[in-house]
Amino acid sequence: MVRDDTRDDDRRESSRRTRESRASRLDVPKDTRRALMRRPDYDPEMFGRFAETFARFLGTARFLFFMTVFVIIWLTINVVGVWHLRWDPYPFILLNLLFSTQASYAAPLILLAQNRQESRDRVVAEQDREANVRALADMEYLAREVASLRIAVGEVSTRDFLRSELRNLLTEMEERAQQRGDQRSEGRAPPRSLES
């Protein structure tokens, strides 16, 4: 049903564009046919907004309250005969006709409002899906970056490793210095490798 509506809207829009383009161009002859009755031209967006407003009003407690008051007044006048008026006696055929007329107009307007809401929901769902796809791509990118950072950090020396290496180097230097001191005290010259 939504597809039919969109096809009809697309068809109307393309015919309107064709008429406008023909009217503005000099190399295309004007349409010489005249219709006996001009087709009513309405704005589907404005009519859709009206249908949504109407459907929204039908679903309120205010509408139910007003409808209940209307029915009570109608029944009271026609049963009791207030002001000697009785235009719709007991089977209340006129009231039933009013309800049927209201229902026959309300149902298509409510359906139109639901179709418009469904179209909006479809657009919002599509936008949400696209946002989710982008968020998923971003998360995958960040996960790859974090993994590469972990690999890079694994190759970098840590503070504890540097401290232990410096301690080892310090103890080695102290041992060399002690060996030099021992060799000088004995009167021997230290080997060349230890001097540098």
Tell me if residue 88 falls in helix, strand or coil.
coil
| Cα gap 129→123, rounded to integer Å | 10
Given a cut of 70, whether residue 192 has pLDDT beyond it is: no
Given a cut of 80, whether residue 4 has pLDDT beyond it is: no
Q: Do residue 1 and residue 63 come from a single domain?
A: yes
Q: Judge whether 104 and 111 are in contact, CB under 8 Å.
A: no
Domain annotation covers residue 167: yes
Domain annotation covers residue 31: no
Q: Do residue 59 and residue 91 come from a single domain?
A: yes
Q: Do residue 118 and residue 142 come from a single domain?
A: no
Least confident of 1-15, 61-75, 108-122: 1-15
| Cα gap 24→184, rounded to integer Å | 111
Domain annotation covers residue 129: no
Q: Do residue 2 and residue 96 come from a single domain?
A: yes
Q: Do residue 118 and residue 149 come from a single domain?
A: no
Q: Do residue 8 and residue 92 come from a single domain?
A: yes
Domain count, the chain: 2
Domain annotation covers residue 28: no
Grade residue 84 by pLDDT with cuts at 50, 70 and 90. Answer: confident
Per-residue pLDDT tens digits for 38-63: 777 778 888 888 888 888 888 889 99
Q: Which of 72, 89, 122 is the last residue of a domain?
A: 122
Grade residue 67 by pLDDT with cuts at 50, 70 and 90. Answer: very high
| Cα gap 77→90, rounded to integer Å | 11
Domain annotation covers residue 148: yes
Q: Do residue 116 and residue 176 come from a single domain?
A: no
Q: Do residue 3 and residue 62 come from a single domain?
A: yes
104: left (phi over 0), alpha (psi -120 to 50) or beta: alpha
Domain annotation covers residue 100: yes
81: left (phi over 0), alpha (psi -120 to 50) or beta: left
Q: Which of 122, 147, 172 is the last residue of a domain?
A: 122
Domain annotation covers residue 118: yes
Q: Do residue 7 and residue 75 come from a single domain?
A: yes
**pLDDT at position 68, please?**
94
| Cα gap 92→78, rounded to integer Å | 8
What's the burial of 73, exposed, middle or buried (CB within 10 Å: 0-12/13-18/19+)? exposed
Residue 57 half-sphere exposure toward CB, CA atoms < 13 A: 11
| Cα gap 82→88, rounded to integer Å | 13
Q: What is the mean pLDDT of the chain?
A: 82
Q: What is the mean pLDDT of residues 86-109?
A: 88
Grade residue 98 by pLDDT with cuts at 50, 70 and 90. Answer: very high
Given a cut of 60, whether residue 118 has pLDDT beyond it is: yes
Per-residue pLDDT tens digits for 153-182: 777 777 788 888 899 999 999 999 998 888
Which range of residues forms the domain containing residue 188? 136-196
Alpha helices in 25-158 (DSSP H): 44-58, 61-80, 93-155
Q: Do residue 7 and residue 104 come from a single domain?
A: yes
Q: Which of 98, 122, 146 is the last residue of a domain?
A: 122
Per the document, the length of the chain is 196
